[in-house]
């Protein structure tokens, strides 16, 4: 073991022991975070408007601070963007993470000097935790790559702004800098395809040991590597043994990745967002990611199927149950309050508190009251694929409410890597899995409200073409697994005719 490896092991043990304090006392940890947040922000504009000086309990908070999404908080954020101080959090933020994608154009998510360190720490601790659990340290001597957005930042009223992954690039600790690729210049390339080509050139002859990024974009990188090397990625990079990813469920990609790599590699799942770093996989054996309860974030949970009702109950960590789908609501030391980030999660365990991401509250299909979520379509597809040689590159699901003939149905747009011999039989298989995943869907099929699913084949790279057409190729952009409208489906209809 190298000196670096030994040092990593010692540090990993220290961090593991330190974290046990809050892991063993989760409710106390959250109470502490809650008190600190309220106290620190009590003299801000938001704190004064919502009478933080009278907020002593969670109940007070619920009564005084409604759940909001970005649109709901926008008039406060706009003041911060203008450069005003003490609006949502004391002082001014250090950065804005700029994300695209709402009806109102760009979103500016504040990052403060209190919140920033937790983004860095969580990513570091995920890796240290893996070292502590597995005892593996060889990878620290090789090269690591992080596929991410451009680190170039612009400035607005004295506050720097850029993509979260780009901002984080400025904080990578020195001991990692020497090992890290791609180069700064390559990382700054805006066009995603040009950038991936440059990354392939730069990494081709290196001893890559850790690769990290969103699966769909890492897949593109792997495909280009494999084409160039004419051999699996795992043969090209003999010491590549750790894949770190976040942002989407890896399961639909797993078979494809093992095929591209040519062998199994360990993986660590992360749950980062511009709004906060919420969880990381803390065990190679257990399902789910450890929810970070002492990272300057106070969590509330609303049952997803009650979310759109008049007054849904806001639960704290001590009230949640395993296996229920919750909308995640956060209050943070970056000045977001009772903020709905749009993700849904479910707990896999409450000792410790581990979660899986189940989808987006706005990405669901309920054209007929079926409440289908991302996790259900992913699981159904995965089960239907298991034990076959069929493989899927990418997919999305949309409702077809007005078919030319016959009953309405769910249309599955699938880009196959390896097609089924009998598409119809495969569709039936997915449909049966869907009926087991979702009882409402099952009722609609039984009641002849819907007919079984219809698969539409998407041409190779079709989804990349789609992402390109809406200006979202690469970086942190993800294809929605399902949508309650036909925007994506209509693109392919136009594309075929």
- Average pLDDT in the 409-422 region? 94
The pLDDT of residue 276 is 94
Q: Is residue 12 very low, low, confident or very high in pLDDT (cuts 50, 70, 90)? A: very high
- 3-state secondary structure (DSSP) of residue 410: strand
- Average pLDDT in the 230-256 region? 88
- Average pLDDT in the 317-338 region? 96
Among 194-203, 340-349, 357-366, which is the least confidently predicted range?
Answer: 357-366
| 197 vs 89: CA distance, rounded Å | 42
Q: How far is CA 273 from CA 156, 313, 475, in A?
A: 21, 25, 13
Please say if the pLDDT value at position 425 is more than 60: yes
The pLDDT of residue 64 is 97
Q: Is residue 44 very low, low, confident or very high in pLDDT (cuts 50, 70, 90)? A: very high
Q: Is residue 176 very low, low, confident or very high in pLDDT (cuts 50, 70, 90)? A: low
- Average pLDDT in the 276-300 region? 96
| 424 vs 84: CA distance, rounded Å | 60
- Best CA proximity match to 70, nearest among 40, 96, 41, 35: 96
Instruction: Tokens for 466, please give them.
Output: 């789609």
Among 96-105, 125-134, 424-433, which is the least confidently predicted range?
Answer: 96-105
Compute the mean pLDDT over every residue in the chain, rounded to the nearest whole number. 90
Instruction: Tokens for 12, please give them.
Output: 């990993």
Q: 471 exposed, middle or buried (CB, 10 Å; 0-12, 13-18, 19+)? A: exposed
Contacts of 222 (CB under 8 A, 6+ apart): 233, 257, 260, 261
The pLDDT of residue 147 is 79
- Average pLDDT in the 36-51 region? 98
Q: Is residue 412 very low, low, confident or very high in pLDDT (cuts 50, 70, 90)? A: very high
Q: Is residue 263 very low, low, confident or very high in pLDDT (cuts 50, 70, 90)? A: very high
pTM: 0.82
Burial 236-252 (b: 16+ CB within 10 A, else e): bbeebbbbbbbbbbbeb
- Average pLDDT in the 44-65 region? 97
Among 27-41, 236-250, 471-485, which is the least confidently predicted range?
Answer: 471-485
Report yes or no: 60 and 123 within 8 Å, Cβ to Cβ: no
| 125 vs 148: CA distance, rounded Å | 19
Please say if the pLDDT value at position 78 is more than 80: yes
The pLDDT of residue 31 is 98
Q: Is residue 102 very low, low, confident or very high in pLDDT (cuts 50, 70, 90)? A: very low
| 423 vs 426: CA distance, rounded Å | 5
Please say if the pLDDT value at position 103 is more than 50: no
Instruction: Tokens for 473, please give them.
Output: 């190729």
- Average pLDDT in the 463-471 region? 89
Report yes or no: 144 and 176 within 8 Å, Cβ to Cβ: yes
């Amino acid at each position: 073991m190298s000196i670096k490896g030994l040092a990593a092991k010692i540090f990993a043990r220290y961090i593991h022991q330190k974290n046990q304090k809050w892991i063993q006392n989760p409710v106390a940890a959250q109470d502490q975070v809650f008190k600190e947040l309220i106290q620190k922000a009590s003299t801000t504009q938001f704190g004064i408007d919502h009478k933080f000086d009278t907020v002593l309990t969670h109940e007070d908070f619920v009564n005084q601070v409604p759940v909001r999404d970005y649109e709901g908080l926008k008039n406060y954020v706009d003041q911060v963007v203008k450069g005003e101080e003490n609006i949502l959090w004391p002082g001014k933020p250090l950065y804005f993470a700029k994300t695209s994608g709402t009806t109102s154009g760009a979103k500016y998510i504040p990052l403060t000097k209190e919140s920033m360190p937790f983004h860095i720490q969580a990513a570091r601790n995920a890796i240290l935790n893996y070292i502590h659990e597995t005892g593996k340290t060889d990878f620290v001597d090789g090269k690591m790559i992080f596929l991410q957005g451009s680190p170039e930042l612009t400035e607005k009223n004295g506050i720097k702004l850029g993509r979260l992954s780009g901002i984080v690039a400025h904080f990578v600790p020195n001991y990692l800098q020497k090992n890290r690729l791609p180069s700064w210049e390559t990382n700054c390339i805006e066009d995603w395809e040009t950038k991936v080509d440059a990354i392939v050139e730069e990494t081709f002859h290196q001893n890559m040991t850790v690769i990290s990024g969103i699966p769909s974009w890492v897949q593109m990188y792997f495909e280009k590597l494999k084409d160039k090397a004419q051999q699996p990625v795992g043969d090209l990079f003999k010491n590549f043994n750790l894949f770190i990813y976040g942002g989407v469920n890896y399961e639909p990609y797993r078979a494809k990745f093992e095929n591209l790599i040519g062998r199994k590699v360990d993986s660590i799942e992360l749950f980062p967002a511009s709004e906060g770093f919420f969880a990381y996989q803390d065990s190679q054996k257990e399902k789910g990611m450890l929810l970070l309860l002492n990272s300057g974030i106070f969590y509330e949970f609303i049952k997803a199927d009650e979310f759109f009702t008049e007054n849904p109950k806001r639960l704290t960590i001590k009230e949640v149950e395993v296996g229920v789908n919750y909308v995640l609501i956060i209050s943070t030391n970056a000045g977001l309050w009772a903020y709905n980030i749009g993700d849904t999660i479910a707990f896999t365990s409450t000792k410790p508190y581990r979660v899986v991401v189940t989808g987006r509250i706005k990405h669901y299909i309920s054209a007929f009251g079926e409440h289908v979520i991302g996790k259900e379509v992913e699981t159904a597809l995965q089960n239907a694929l298991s034990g076959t040689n069929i493989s899927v590159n990418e997919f999305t699901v949309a409702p077809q409410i007005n078919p030319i003939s016959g009953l309405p149905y769910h249309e599955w747009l699938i880009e196959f890597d390896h097609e089924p011999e009998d598409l119809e039989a495969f569709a039936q298989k997915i449909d049966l899995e869907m009926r087991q995943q979702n009882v409402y869907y099952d009722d609609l099929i039984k009641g002849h409200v819907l007919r079984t699913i219809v698969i539409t084949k998407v041409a190779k790279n079709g989804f990349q073409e789609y992402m390109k057409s809406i200006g979202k190729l690469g970086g942190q952009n993800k294809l929605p697994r399902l949508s309650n409208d036909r925007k994506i489906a209509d693109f392919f209809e136009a594309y075929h005719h």
